[in-house]
C-alpha cells in the first residue's frame, strides 16, 4: 500500500531562492502547455500530445532568450509539471464520461504566482537521502529536515510544498506493507455531532475541541489588522503572513487531535462503522462554521485508511439511514425528531434513549448488516434501498479515484 509521510524542512536563504525559482518554472511550464492545448482546442485541432508539448515548451524553450532560465532548475521538475497537467486532463475527461466517481471535475486552470501555496514534484533520480539526515534536491542542495519518524521504506517520489504561512514541507510517497494489529474483540458504531464530536456505541463520548472557536478572537483581531493595511504594501504582506500562521496553527492542532482520536479508535476496535454525513451540504447552512471546525470528513478519511493499514474492517452507513428514529432496543421506528430533542422515550418498549448513543448503536447494527450482506447500500426512512453517495477521489500521488466503498475500505493515500 502507498502511504505519504510529511516532514518539516528548513531551507536557508539561497535554497529558498532556488525553490522559488523551481516553483516559478514549474508554473510557467504548466501555463504554457495549458495555453497551447486550449488554443488548439479553440482552433478545432486535435488534442496535443505530451511529447509534442515537452519538445516545444521544455526542450526548445530552454534555447530561446525569453525562456532560457528554465535550464536553471532540474528537468525533472518541468517534466513532472507536464505529467501533472496530463493527470488533470485525464481526471476531467474521465469525469465527463462517467468513469470517475465522486464530484464532477472541471478542466485544468492557469496557475498564478500570487498563489500562497506552491509545490513541485520530483522522482527518485532528482533527490536522495543522505547519511547526515539531510535530503539532497537537484539544483537546490542539501535541505535540513526535521525527522519526526523513520521512513518504513525507500520513497518512490517526493513533493516539496510551501504553504500559505511560509513553511516548507517534504512529502514522501512510500510503498509499504500493512501493519496488522492483533485482533480486538470489540466493534463500534460512531455517531458524529457538533456539541459532542463523536459518541461510540459503547457509550464513550468524545468532546468537541473546537479549535477554531477558541482561536476566533485572535483571528478576528488579525483580520481587522489586515483589512486596514494598504493593498500591495509590505505591511499588508506581513499582516497576511501573521493571519496565515494563526490559521495554520488551528489546522495543525485539529489534524493532530484527529490523528490521535482515530488511532485510538482503530486500535481498540476490530470493526468501525460510521455514518456518511453530507458535509458539503451542512457547510452551506447556519452551522457552517461549526461543521468546518469539527472536520468530520478528514476524521472519517483517517479512520478509513488506518483501518486498511492495521487490518481492521471499516464501513460507511448511508446518510439516509434513520439512525435517530429507530429504537436500538426493540427496533420500533418512532418518527423524525427535531435537533433540540436530545432524549426521547420509545413508544413501544418505553426505553429512554440518549439521542446520540441510540444513533451510534443503530449505526453499529446497520454496519454489521452491511458487512454480513457484502454490499454498501442501506435502507432509508421509507424502508427502500438508499442510493449510494458518490465516492470522493483518492488523494494519492496519481490522483486516480477509489474503486469502491464496500465492506473493507480501499487503500487511500495519506
Catalytic residues: 191, 275, 356
The DSSP symbol for 59 reads I
At residue 213, φ and ψ (nearest 5 deg) are -65, -40
DSSP-derived 3-state class of residue 301 = helix
CB burial readout 372-393, b (16+ within 10 A) else e? eeeebebeeeeeeebebbebeb
CA dist 49 and 93 (Å) reads 15
C-alpha cell, 322: 434513520
The DSSP symbol for 257 reads H
Radius of gyration of the CA atoms of the chain, in A: 25
At residue 25, φ and ψ (nearest 5 deg) are -65, -40
Could you tell me the end-to-end alpha-carbon distance of the chain, in angstroms, rounded to an integer? 11
C-alpha cell, 95: 469525469
Could you tell me whether strands 2-10 and 168-175 are parallel, antiparallel, or unpaired per DSSP bridges?
A: antiparallel
With CA atoms as reference, report the closest residue to 309 among 272, 362, 343: 272
Beta bridge partner(s), residue 393:
401
H or E element in which residue 272 lies: strand 271-275
Amino acid at each position: 500500500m502507498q502511504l505519504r509521510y510529511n516532514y518539516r524542512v528548513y531551507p536557508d536563504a539561497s535554497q529558498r531562492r532556488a525553490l522559488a525559482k523551481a516553483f516559478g518554472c514549474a508554473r510557467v511550464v504548466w501555463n504554457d502547455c495549458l495555453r497551447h492545448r486550449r488554443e488548439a482546442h479553440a482552433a478545432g485541432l486535435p488534442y496535443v500530445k505530451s511529447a509534442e508539448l515537452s519538445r516545444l515548451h521544455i526542450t526548445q524553450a530552454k534555447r530561446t532568450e525569453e525562456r532560457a532560465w528554465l535550464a536553471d532548475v532540474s528537468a525533472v521538475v518541468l517534466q513532472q509539471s507536464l505529467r501533472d497537467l496530463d493527470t488533470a486532463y485525464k481526471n476531467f475527461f474521465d469525469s465527463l464520461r462517467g468513469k470517475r466517481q465522486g464530484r464532477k471535475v472541471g478542466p485544468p486552470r492557469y496557475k498564478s504566482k500570487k498563489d500562497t501555496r506552491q509545490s513541485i514534484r520530483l522522482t527518485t533520480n532528482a533527490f536522495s537521502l543522505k547519511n547526515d539526515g539531510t535530503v539532497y534536491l537537484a539544483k537546490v542542495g542539501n535541505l535540513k529536515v526535521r525527522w519526526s519518524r523513520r521512513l518504513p521504506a525507500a520513497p518512490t517520489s517526493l513533493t516539496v510544498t510551501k504553504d500559505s504561512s511560509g513553511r516548507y514541507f517534504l512529502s514522501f510517497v512510500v510503498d509499504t506493507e500493512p501493519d496488522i494489529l492483533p485482533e480486538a474483540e470489540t466493534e463500534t458504531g460512531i455517531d458524529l455531532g457538533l456539541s459532542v464530536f463523536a459518541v461510540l456505541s459503547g457509550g464513550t463520548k468524545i468532546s468537541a475541541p473546537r479549535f477554531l472557536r477558541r482561536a476566533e478572537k485572535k483571528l478576528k483581531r488579525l483580520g481587522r489588522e489586515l483589512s486596514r493595511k494598504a493593498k500591495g504594501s509590505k505591511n499588508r504582506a506581513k499582516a497576511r503572513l501573521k493571519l496565515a500562521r494563526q490559521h495554520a496553527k488551528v489546522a495543525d492542532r485539529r489534524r493532530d487531535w484527529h490523528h490521535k482520536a482515530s488511532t485510538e479508535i482503530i486500535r481498540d476496535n476490530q470493526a468501525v462503522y460510521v455514518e456518511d454525513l453530507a458535509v458539503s451540504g451542512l457547510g452551506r447552512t447556519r452551522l457552517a462554521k461549526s461543521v468546518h471546525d469539527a472536520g468530520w470528513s478528514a476524521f472519517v478519511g483517517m479512520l478509513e485508511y488506518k483501518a486498511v493499514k492495521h487490518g481492521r474492517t471499516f464501513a460507511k452507513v448511508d446518510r439516509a439511514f434513520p439512525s435517530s428514529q429507530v429504537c436500538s432496543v426493540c427496533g420500533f421506528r418512532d418518527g423524525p425528531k427535531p435537533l433540540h430533542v436530545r432524549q426521547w422515550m420509545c413508544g413501544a418498549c418505553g426505553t429512554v434513549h440518549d439521542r446520540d448513543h441510540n444513533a451510534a448503536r443503530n449505526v453499529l447494527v446497520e454496519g454489521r448488516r452491511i458487512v454480513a450482506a457484502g454490499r454498501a447500500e442501506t435502507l432509508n426512512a421509507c424502508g427502500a434501498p438508499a442510493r449510494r453517495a458518490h465516492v470522493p477521489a483518492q488523494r494519492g500521488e496519481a490522483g486516480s479515484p477509489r474503486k469502491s466503498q464496500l465492506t473493507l475500505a480501499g487503500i487511500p493515500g495519506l
